Amino acid sequence: MNHRFPSRALRLLLGLLAAGSSALAVPAPAVQAAALAEFTNTCARCHNGDGSGYANLGLPNFTDPQWQAAHPDAERALVIRNGVTDRMPAFGAILPADEIEALVAHVRGLESKTPHLQEAIPVAVEPTLAPPGHGAGPVVLGSRGVYTQHNNNARTGANLDEATLTPANVNPRQFGLLFRHVVDDQVFAQPLFVPDLALAGGRHNVVIVASAANTVYAFDADADAAPYWQVNLGAPGSVQQHPFWCHDILGNMGIIGTPVIDAATQTLYVVALTHEGGGWVQRLHALDLTSGSERPHSPVVITADSFDPILENQRPALLLSRGSVYVGYSSHCDVEPYHGFLFRFDAGTLRQQGVLNLSPGAVGNSIWQSGQGPAADEQGAIYFVTSNGTWDGGQNLSDSFLKVSPDLRVLDWFTPTNYPELDKRDADLNSSGAMLLPGAHRVMGAGKQGVVYLVDTDHFGHLGDEHAVQHFPAAKGEVNVGAVFWQSAARGGLVYLWGQDDALHVYAFKDGRFNPEPLAVGGQTSAYPGGILSLSAHGDSNGILWANAALSEHGNDHINGPGVLRAYDANDITHELWNSNLAPERDTPGRVSKNAAPTVANGKVYLASFGALPVGTGALYVYGLLPEPTVP
């Protein structure tokens, strides 16, 4: 599936908008438990855990007795089976009758004598800030950039050249919000950091931010100032322009995937969806980092057989490898017909060099990965995991790990034994993406079932769990964000992941295998999507695990609620060093950007935000060491 709000159960409950007649039989206990799990893990993201919904978005309040009285069970079940035109497909041929009855019964049980009314547009959650200053001490030009999502092509999420921030100084007294840059729309893409860039008559550290309104900004990374440049790449496409049923994205969806930077040529590559003449176009742009101007040959239209620019969602981060730019695609709300695509472009000329359709003659098999980009090894082989869709053991490989050549030939693949159940349940295997374990010839990923799969990059083995090096449950529910790897001097190889409605976990990794028992479990939980992780360290010491998390009390809805930035001692995740709620009047980061990991570089943490409202607002929050108090 392409988005982070699983479609199957969500579509089911959207169907409960119309209903009515006698109650159905009480489902068996096992079926009731399955229905509760479906509601908790999926439906609650739009409807809230208590069923209160969002009336302004057409999501009903299941706790309201008047709504319950107006929509009896039999009609609710009928709508689930037959669907609603332009809002919900029919599921009668997919779901067994007892499961439909169990979902209806669960919703019936949500009725309350005191309905809880949830507004779709709550009050602003951004703080009113006193001027916090611009950092401690003079600006120091950086030497290590963050040019791609999760720091490198292995997607390990670690910056190992961070010498300023340490577990000793990241604390409530010394660390906090320095300033923020407000932008024109939501920011799904991870911010990118460019050190020591020559522009504006000097040399500066620059942070790149891309918004859903198709605007790209180059901000000073160290000061609260107007951007050095900003460019808009055209009127953005929007979910309101097409009959999408879900609320995964509420407004514009111009730039969703994280761009990538070629530091050698000082070029930024980014894909923008535009609305033009009643239709839609997707283009790959190559922008000069010093000015934002288009490079020669830029932009180029992205097109292929069966490629529909409004149905194909450029969610995964871009990949730059061996002189080529790779652009992957998922869907939006699983609205068909869509396909998983991976395009290859020459980085210099932007000439399209190839395209891989992952569901030819069928549908599905997208590269979603919660925004994580495809990984690549030193030989240029590319690794990713596919979503639900179509599986035939040949050209159609849903819910599978794939290894492809630089010229987009499938070299190897692995599919879990239970792939039919994963497809049926919309339990995407690729909800966290693929991460290469350094020096180990291993690739790992975890999906919505919370199971980690570890695969040998030299021998995927094809169909069957027995071909995986390991597979084990690593979270109690969905893992919707990528893992992070660090080689610690004190603890050895460590892998961190944080699932939805769960706590942060760390696992030991040694000699190419995991110890399936966690080394430690953190003390806080996160609502959807779980903790979006990054790590900073000075080599194998002074490790800090950073998490862009959601407040667990907010619930799991599509309209991402107030977020919290957390910092943990990477050698002991039971020790939280700091979080943005300790001084909320200064540090609160607005609403969670559900795709963007924190970017940590040169003594600062750059955090993308959805801003104050569920749609139409966005910001970049910049954290670092606070100025020393002035002595009278």
Strands (E), 347-421: 352-357, 375-376, 382-385, 401-404, 410-415
- At 99, give phi and psi (nearest 5°): -70, -40
Residue-level length of the chain? 632
Residue 567 lies in a domain: yes
Q: Which of 428, 336, 325, 319 is nearest to 374 (CA)?
A: 319
Residue 360 has pLDDT above 80, yes or no: yes
354 and 462 assigned to the same domain: yes
Q: What's the DSSP call for residue 582?
A: S
Q: Is the dihedral of CA 122, 128, 133, 135 positive or negative?
A: negative
**CA–CA gap between residue 185 and residue 210 (Å, rounded):** 9
Mind listing the pLDDT tens digit for each residue in 368-382?
999 999 999 999 999
Query: Both ends of the chain: CA-CA distance in Å?
Result: 59
Q: Which of 292, 371, 305, 369 is nearest to 337 (CA)?
A: 305
The CATH number assigned to the domain holding 203 equals 2.140.10.10
173 and 76 assigned to the same domain: no
Choice between 382 and 138, residue whose per-residue pLDDT is larger: 382
Average confidence (pLDDT) over 277-306: 97
Average confidence (pLDDT) over 328-337: 92
The mean pLDDT value of the chain amounts to 87
pLDDT band at 91 (very low <50, low <70, confident <90, very high): low
Residue 2 lies in a domain: no
Tally of structural domains, the chain: 2
Average confidence (pLDDT) over 538-545: 98
Residue 140 lies in a domain: no
Identify the pLDDT of residue 131: 45
Pairing of strands 520-526, 532-538: unpaired
Residue 113 lies in a domain: no
Pairing of strands 324-328, 462-463: unpaired
Residue 444 has pLDDT above 90, yes or no: yes
Residue 116 lies in a domain: no
Identify the pLDDT of residue 136: 54
b/e map 83-107, b = 16+ CB within 10 Å? bbeebbbebeeebeebbbbbbbbbb
0.95 exceeded by the pTM? no
216 and 354 assigned to the same domain: yes
Q: Are 154 and 435 in contact (CB under 8 A)?
A: yes
Residue 120 has pLDDT above 50, yes or no: no
461 and 543 assigned to the same domain: yes
Least confident span in 33-47, 115-129, 400-414, 478-492:
115-129
Average confidence (pLDDT) over 416-423: 95
Residue 122 lies in a domain: no
Identify the pLDDT of residue 51: 73
Identify the pLDDT of residue 466: 98
Residue 209 has pLDDT above 50, yes or no: yes
102 and 169 assigned to the same domain: no
Mind listing the pLDDT tens digit for each residue in 496-528?
999 998 999 999 999 999 999 999 999 999 888
531 and 386 assigned to the same domain: yes
Q: Which of 5, 39, 41 is nearest to 499 (CA)?
A: 41
448 and 597 assigned to the same domain: yes
The CATH number assigned to the domain holding 30 equals 1.10.760
Cα–Cα distances in angstroms (integers) from residue 35 to residues 84, 98, 103, in the given order: 21, 10, 5
Q: Are 554 and 596 in contact (CB under 8 A)?
A: no
**Which of 108, 123, 149 corresponds to the end of one domain?**
108
Q: In whole angstroms, what separates CA 234 from the centre of its chain?
A: 24
Mind listing the pLDDT tens digit for each residue in 241-281?
988 877 778 889 999 999 999 999 999 999 999 999 999 99
* Residue reference for tokens 């996160």: 526
- At 7, give phi and psi (nearest 5°): -80, -35
Mind listing the pLDDT tens digit for each residue in 149-205?
999 999 999 999 999 999 999 999 999 999 999 999 999 999 999 999 999 999 999
**Which of 73, 108, 143 corresponds to the end of one domain?**
108
How large a percentage of the chain has pLDDT more than 70?
Answer: 84
224 and 341 assigned to the same domain: yes
Residue 367 has pLDDT above 80, yes or no: yes
pLDDT band at 550 (very low <50, low <70, confident <90, very high): confident
Least confident span in 6-10, 271-275, 346-350:
6-10
Least confident span in 88-102, 336-350, 520-534:
88-102
**CA–CA gap between residue 363 and residue 415 (Å, rounded):** 17
279 and 420 assigned to the same domain: yes
49 and 170 assigned to the same domain: no
Residue 268 lies in a domain: yes
Structure tokens that stand for 263 in this block: 């530091």
Give Cβ neighbours of residue 123 (< 8 Å, ≥ 6 apart): none
Residue 179 lies in a domain: yes
350 and 477 assigned to the same domain: yes
How large a percentage of the chain has pLDDT more than 90?
Answer: 67
Strands (E), 121-174: 158-159
Q: What's the DSSP call for residue 423?
A: H
**Which of 76, 108, 140 corresponds to the end of one domain?**
108
354 and 240 assigned to the same domain: yes
Residues spanned by the domain of 28: 7-108
Strands (E), 489-603: 492-498, 502-510, 513-514, 520-526, 532-538, 541-550, 563-569, 572-579, 591-592, 599-601
